[in-house]
Amino acid sequence: MSAQPDHTPAPAAPYAPAPGAPAELLAQLRADRRAERWVPAFEREWAAALEESRRTFSLTTLYEVVHVWQARLVSAPAVDAFTASGREETGFVDMAELRGRRRR
């Protein structure tokens, strides 16, 4: 007899958000100044993920939508600050310069 399992384990899903996370996230999006753009985008992505979840019996896509939008909300102040700084970076971002700034 082999000590090896006879099945392949399912790939690890991202951590599961709290059951109320999507509703809390939507409330935060509605309160944000970008609500006019972000709420419809979130709702579209959530609906598509929900449909995929129904089709595949997997919650992974729903978790991913929540994680991506949580990250957008968290990073929004940094993006705003960068935009307000007036620096023109449409061509590229110099990663070495960014690393140097963090060390200071």
pLDDT tens for the 104 residues of the chain, in order = 556 656 665 555 557 888 899 999 999 999 999 999 999 999 999 999 999 999 999 999 999 999 999 999 999 998 888 888 877 666 666 666 767 765 55
d(CA 45, CA 57): 17
How many Å separate Cα 102 from the centre of its chain? 24
Q: Which pLDDT belongs to residue 84? A: 85
